[in-house]
Structures are given as C-alpha cells and as structure tokens.
Structure 1
Amino acid sequence: MNFIDKKLITAALVALLGGCAGMSEEECMVADWHALGFEDGAAGAQVAQLSRRRQACADYGVRPDTEAYRAGRSEGLRLYCTEQRGYRSGRAGQTYTGVCPANLEGPFLNAYQAGRDLYLAQHAVDEVAAAIHDHEVEREQLADDITDKSARLISDEATRDERITLLADIARMKKRQGELGTELDDLHQELALRQADYQNVEMNSPYR
C-alpha cells in the first residue's frame, strides 16, 4: 500500500468518525489535524472549513494544529484538483469555489467546464421531459374526469341545473385537452432539439 492509499484510507476513516465541521469533544481531543486537512482538501472544501472546525472545538478548549491542517489540505487538494475530478464535479452540477492552486487550476477548470456543459445539456433535456410527463398526467386526469362527468350527465339522478354545469365543465376540459395536445407536440419537438444538443456536446467533449 503506497503513501497516497494510506492517506485516502485515513481520510475515509476521519469522515466516518466526524469529518463534518461539527465535531464532538472526543473527536476534537483525538483529532489528527493533518488527516482532517487532507480529507477537506480531497473533498474540495474551502479553507473556511478550518474556522468551522476551530469554532466547534473551542467549546472543549481544543485548538487545532493549523500548520498540520494546512499541510494536509494542500496534499488533499492535489487529489481534488485534477482533470478527472474537475470533469466529475462539473458533470454532477457541483459548484467550484476556487480552491485549486494556480498551478493546478487550469486543467481542472477546463475539465470542469466540459463536465458542466454536459450537465447543463442534460438538465435541459430533463426539464423538457418533465414538462411532457406533467402534461401527459394532466391529460390522463382530464380524460378520467370527462368520463366521470359524462356518466353523471346521463344519469337519472342529475338535475337540469347540474346537467348545465356538467356540460360546461366537459366543454372546458375538452378545450384544455386540445391545448395540451398542441403543447405536447411543441414539447416533443423541443425535446428532440435538446437531445440533439446533448449528443453534440457529448460527442465533442474531450473528456467523454
């Protein structure tokens, strides 16, 4: 097992034991500040995470080893600030907060933007697909309501005034059905365009 593997295992263990900024008294007392810094750096956390950890441990009279934390964070950032992580972060729609050092930021940002372009293209597809689903659900509900109201309309129990209301309701719902049909046609065309855009972005991505 090499040095980096050991560091990754340590960081994972720290995360399980309380890697978030909220730390218990025991966690503060036994904290490996170098490992905590490595974990935060590998996760792309801002340096402000140290301040949150400091505040959490202050209640227990524990001061962080700032030097060890920063050294660990620098090591962790070397794992985070890679093209692979940049692409994965952008692809997942995560926000980049400018944590990478200047010598690593260029390749990271190029990959991040490529991943984000693909994320945005996929998001556009998902939005239109969701709108289509909502329209189809509404159309199905209208069909059920029209069936129910039509049955009531021809029933012996319906009064004259009720039939007048039912006829108006059915006419309104049928009009809405027609509008939904037109809107669905437009949405399916929009979906085809968005899917083509996504495929184009994916095909031209150097990180696919």
Structure 2
Amino acid sequence: MKSIFFILAVVIVSSCTTLSKKDCQTINWYEWGKSDALKGKTSMVFTDYTKTCSKHGIALDKDNYIKGRVEGLKNFCTYKNGEQFAHKGETYRSVCPQQWEPEFLKGYQLGKRNYELEQKERELELRKQDLEEQEAKLRSRQAILSSLKTKQCNLSSDCTIDDNCSLGKCKKSGAKCSFDSDCEIEGRCSLETVCAEGDCDTVNICKYD
C-alpha cells in the first residue's frame, strides 16, 4: 500500500515544473529516476532538480536516481514500448543506451508511421465534415431562395417588398439589367423612367408582365 501511495506522489509531483522544499526532502530518487526514464525524459532533468533543491540547501541522491533511471530504461527501451510511445505522439530524445536503442527505434518508427496516418485520417474526416456542413447550409439556402421565387400569390401584396405577382408567382421587379437574360425566367429587360423625389431618370430594369 505504501508503494502505491509513493507512485501516485511521483506522478503528481513530476507533473509540476518546480520542486518544493518538501519535495526535495521526501522524494525517493530511485523511483523518481525510474519514472523519468519511463517517460522518455533525458538525464538533463536531474540537473534542473539539483539547481532547484540546492536553493533550499538540499543535496540530492544522484546515485539512487541513476540506478532507478537505468531500471526504468530497461522497460522503456523495448520494441513494444517504442511503438506505443510514438503512437501517443511523443518525441524520442535519444535516451536509450546503444545496446537497446535499435530495437526501440524499430518499434518507434512503426508507431510514428501509424500515428501520422491516423492524424491524416482525422484531418480528412474533419474536412469531410466541414464540407458536408457547408453543403447542407447551401442546400438550405437554395431551398429558401427557390421557395421565394415560386411563392404562390394572388396580388403583389402577397409577395415580399419589391416583388410583383406575375402569373400566380412572386417575381422581383426593378433590378437593373442590360438584356432579358439578366432577368429571372419570364422577365424582360425594359427601358423605364424611374422617379425619386421629383428627379427622374431612364434606366433598363427587369419587368414581369
């Protein structure tokens, strides 16, 4: 039970960037070294620990840290762990001893390829979802526009502003044009006199008879 509590303490404290005075006094450096190795951390982290704890006037147990680190690397530097480590998206920092590194790298390279493939698949899936959402919005907008263009009516008052009731359907009039093709179906481009506040001008606009 005591060892379980210690392992939990290692996990919690190691997630912090700064060691407290109490940490420096109570840490089991053998287990700490083992934990760092299993996380793929370099031995340089011990230098950081030393600097931090020296400010509190506490010397660290380097020998036990190294022993724990070696034990941790035995479990870390394997083919299986290399694959798992890379598959989590972790970066290898050349921590394995020369005699164990080749086997670790075989697994790491495989895991890295699988990780990159999965990342690409996720990106493609997100793009697909984005395109589907855009298409759905476009279809919805087109349906609304189509509904407005074919809205049934009896009088122009049944239509929206600037629309006329033509052949039982709402049509927009007054849009500027140059040719009949610039107007909606059944519309024609007509030269009309348009007046506003006493000023009149002759322009081509779409008309629906």
Using the size of structure 2 for normalisation, the TM-score is 0.65
Whether the aligned pair in 2 keeps the contact of 1:42 and 1:76 (CA below 8 Å) is yes
Taking structure 1 as reference, are residues 60 and 145 closer, same or farther at Cα in structure 2, changes over 3 Å only?
A: farther
Deviations 1:149-206 (A, max 9, x none): 445555723336xx559xx9xxxxxxxxxxxxxxxxxxxxxxxxxxxxxxxxxxxxxx
Taking structure 1 as reference, are residues 17 and 116 closer, same or farther at Cα in structure 2, changes over 3 Å only?
A: closer
Of 107, 111, 120, 1:124 maps to: 120
Taking structure 1 as reference, are residues 142 and 71 closer, same or farther at Cα in structure 2, changes over 3 Å only?
A: same
- Which residue number in structure 1 is paired with residue 7 of structure 2? 12
- Which residue number in structure 1 is paired with residue 76 of structure 2? 80
- Ranges in structure 2 where 5+ consecutive residues have no aligned partner: 152-157, 164-171, 177-181, 183-209
1:92 equivalent in alignment to 2:100: no
CA distance in 2, matches of 1:151, 1:67: 80
- Which residue number in structure 1 is paired with residue 29 of structure 2? 33
Compute the displacement of 1:11 (Å): 6.6
CA distance in 2, matches of 1:16, 1:89: 17
Supply the AA of the counterpart residue of 2:119: H
1:104 equivalent in alignment to 2:107: no
Supply the AA of the counterpart residue of 2:63: E
Whether the aligned pair in 2 keeps the contact of 1:152 and 1:158 (CA below 8 Å) is no
1:51 equivalent in alignment to 2:47: yes
Compute the displacement of 1:145 (Å): 2.5
Taking structure 1 as reference, are residues 19 and 28 closer, same or farther at Cα in structure 2, changes over 3 Å only?
A: same
CA distance in 1, matches of 2:47, 2:111: 31
- Which residue number in structure 1 is paired with residue 132 of structure 2? 136
Whether the aligned pair in 2 keeps the contact of 1:41 and 1:76 (CA below 8 Å) is yes
- Ranges in structure 1 where 5+ consecutive residues have no aligned partner: 1-5, 169-208
- Which residue number in structure 2 is paired with residue 188 of structure 1? none
CA distance in 1, matches of 2:161, 2:101: 73
Compute the displacement of 1:60 (Å): 2.1
1:106 partner SS: helix
Taking structure 1 as reference, are residues 159 and 39 closer, same or farther at Cα in structure 2, changes over 3 Å only?
A: same
CA distance in 1, matches of 2:142, 2:49: 61
What is the alpha-carbon root mean square deviation over aligned residues?
Answer: 2.8
Q: Which of 55-64 and 71-80 deviates more?
A: 55-64
Supply the AA of the counterpart residue of 1:111: G
CA distance in 1, matches of 2:161, 2:143: 15
